[in-house]
A = this chain, B = another copy of it.
Amino acid sequence: MSQSTSKKRLSREDSQAQTRARLSETAQQLFVENGYGGTSIRDIAERAGYSQGAFYSNFASKEELLLSLLRGHMEAEAVQLSSLMDSEGRTPEQILTELESWAATLNHDADWCMLSIELQLHANRSPVFATEFQAVWDAHRAGLGRVVGKLFATVKRQPPEDPEELAAAFMALTHGLALQRVGKGPDSSGRLIVLFLRGLIAAAAPLE
């Protein structure tokens, strides 16, 4: 009578999904605030309003939780990249505008960016984590690289570097700026990426 679509009672699955989601969310906040190493499972559970045991009913370990966040990260970014790529026949100006708003969106929630830094730092320390991380990272880099390559093709100029390397540089710029910015002013990485890209195009040799 009272379960299924009711708002009061959640089915067991939904209830666990909720617990898991709340723990994930809280963990993400805390990783950004205090770093991965500086965040204890007790902190996460307490702040999310659960027992420590509840954490272990949902995640096998702290690292597994980080991996789970990484996967969420990956999915969100894949969505954004595909919207940068899939529609045809845009002008270079349109592509640049979209790139700028891509960076802005990514970082409007500055937390995403700091989390990304925590992920990178942890990948540098845990080989297990590094393996999964690398895959996500490479995919992302390749996706953004294709956008950059497409931009140069549209303006009929030769990219002065492997577009993937340029993409990696833009990601690095974004992360480095997030590190500087924490809690301070607004994010300028979108604007700077566009500025740099315009410069590269201006200095690039025409195709052929």
Q: Which of A121, A172, A201 has the most CB of B within 10 A?
A: A172
Which residues in chain A, 30-47, are within 8 Å of chain B measured between CB atoms?
33-35, 37-38
Interface residue from B37, B174, B176, B202 paired with A203 (Cβ < 8 Å): B202
| Bound-state Cα–Cα, A182 to B122, Å | 11
A192 / chain B contacts, CB cutoff of 8 Å: 161, 165, 169
| Bound-state Cα–Cα, A174 to B172, Å | 8
Task: Evaluate contact between A125 and B179: CB separation under 8 angstroms.
Answer: no
A38 / chain B contacts, CB cutoff of 8 Å: 37, 125
Q: How far is the CB of A77 from the nearest CB of chain B, in Å? A: 15
A158 at interface (Cβ–Cβ under 8 A)? no
Name the residue of chain B whose CB is nearest to the CB of A173: B173
Interface residue from B35, B161, B176, B177 paired with A37 (Cβ < 8 Å): B35
> DSSP class of A's interface residues: helix, strand, loop or mixed?
helix
Task: Evaluate contact between B121 and A35: CB separation under 8 angstroms.
Answer: yes
Range class of the A interface residue count: 35 or more
Q: A37-B38, A125-B34, A196-B199 are in contact. Are A172 and B180 (CB under 8 A)?
A: yes
A195 at interface (Cβ–Cβ under 8 A)? yes
Name the residue of chain B whose CB is nearest to the CB of A197: B199
A160 / chain B contacts, CB cutoff of 8 Å: 195, 199
Task: Evaluate contact between B177 and A169: CB separation under 8 angstroms.
Answer: yes
| Bound-state Cα–Cα, A198 to B38, Å | 41
Task: Evaluate contact between B173 and A188: CB separation under 8 angstroms.
Answer: no
| Bound-state Cα–Cα, A38 to B171, Å | 26
Excluding A172-B177, A175-B179, 7 further A-B contacts by CB distance (< 8 Å) are A37-B37, A38-B125, A120-B179, A121-B179, A160-B195, A195-B200, A196-B196
Residue ranges of A at the interface with B (Cβ–Cβ < 8 Å): 33-35, 37-38, 117, 120-121, 124-125, 160-161, 165, 168-169, 171-177, 179-180, 182-183, 188, 192, 195-196, 198-203
